[in-house]
Amino acid sequence: MNYIETHAHIYSSKFDSDRDQIVQDIRDAGIERVYMPNVDVETIPAMLACEEKYPGLCIPMMGLHPCDVKEDFRKQLEVMEDWLKKRQFAAVGEIGLDLYWDKTFFEQQKEALRIQIGWAKEMNLPIVLHCRDSIDETIAIVKEELNGSLKGIFHCFNGTLDQAKQIIDMGFLLGIGGVATFKNGGLDQVIPEISIQHLVLETDAPYLAPVPHRGKRNSPAFLPIIAEKIGDYLQLSKEEVALRTKENALNLFREIKS
C-alpha cells in the first residue's frame, strides 16, 4: 500500500534527534509522500532542508500559521510571497484562523488569511486551512473568496456533519487525522455519512498522535492506523482507503518539478 500524508511537520525540532530513523519508519509504513505545511519565516530553512535531504518524499508548502500572526505579520507575508514567486510549492499553507490559543490578533488573522487566499488564486495553488475552534469563521471567509477554482483542505477536521457538508459543497477536502481514533473525538458521527472521495489522510505530526499512541510524539508512520479507523467507519478495507485518499491528494496538489 502507498499512502499520502497530507500534513506533517517532519522538519520540527522534535524530530532533530532521530529524523533519519523516522523517515525510514515512514518509508517502511508505505508512506509515499509527506506534504509539509510551513508555520512562519523561521521554519522555512528547516522545511526546505528536509525537502533537500529526502527528495521526492518531503514536499513543502508555504504559508503563515494563524498562531504566528502577530504585529509583524505583513513583514512575514512579504518574505513568503517572495518565496512563492521564485520557486514552486505544493500549496499555500498552513493558513487559517485559530480561536483556541489566543484571540488577540484575530482581526489580523483574518486579514492574513484573505491575503494568502489571494496568492493561491493568483498562482492556482490549493490552500491548507487551520481552523481550530474557528470552523464556521473559516468557512465564511472561504465562501466569500470562492472563484470557481479555489480548492484545498480543511486540515484536522473535527467538526459537525453540517460543517463537513458545507466544506464539501465548496469543493474542499477534509483532512482526517488522529482525532478519528479518539473515543470522544466526534468523528464517529460524521465520517460514516461522508464519501471517501472527500477525505485525505494526515497526522499533523508531531502533534495529535492516534490511539494507541495518544499523548506521545506523532509520526507519519502512524498513518495506517488512521486509514484503518476510517475504513471501519466507511466499511472499506484499509487498502481501499489508502488508494482513494491517495488519489484525492494527488488530484489536489501540484507536482513539484525539479
pLDDT tens-place string over residues 184-213: 999 999 999 999 999 999 999 999 999 999
Q: What is the pLDDT of residues 120-161, one digit of tens each?
A: 999 999 999 999 999 999 999 999 999 999 999 999 999 999
Task: Delineate the domains of the chain, giving CATH numbers in brackets.
Answer: 3-252 (3.20.20.140)
Q: How far apart, in whole angstroms, are the C-alpha atoms of residue 45 and residue 47?
A: 5
Q: How far apart, in whole angstroms, are the C-alpha atoms of residue 86 and residue 77?
A: 14
- Read off the pLDDT of each residue in 176-189 and give the average, rounded to a whole number: 97
Q: How far apart, in whole angstroms, are the C-alpha atoms of residue 30 and residue 241?
A: 13
Q: Would you put residue 124 in left (φ > 0), alpha (ψ -120 to 50) or beta?
A: left
Sheet strands side by side (includes 58-60)? 3-5, 31-36, 58-60
Cβ neighbours, 10 Å, residue 245 = 27
If DSSP codes are grouped into helix, strand and coil, which group holds residue 5?
A: strand
Q: How far apart, in whole angstroms, are the C-alpha atoms of residue 49 and residue 58?
A: 10
Could you tell me the three cell numbers for 170?
Answer: 465548496
Helices 238-252 and 223-234, packing angle to 10 deg: 110
Average pLDDT, the chain: 96
pLDDT at residue 257 in the model? 47
Q: What is the pLDDT of residues 25-78, one digit of tens each?
A: 999 999 999 999 999 999 999 999 999 999 999 999 999 999 999 999 999 999
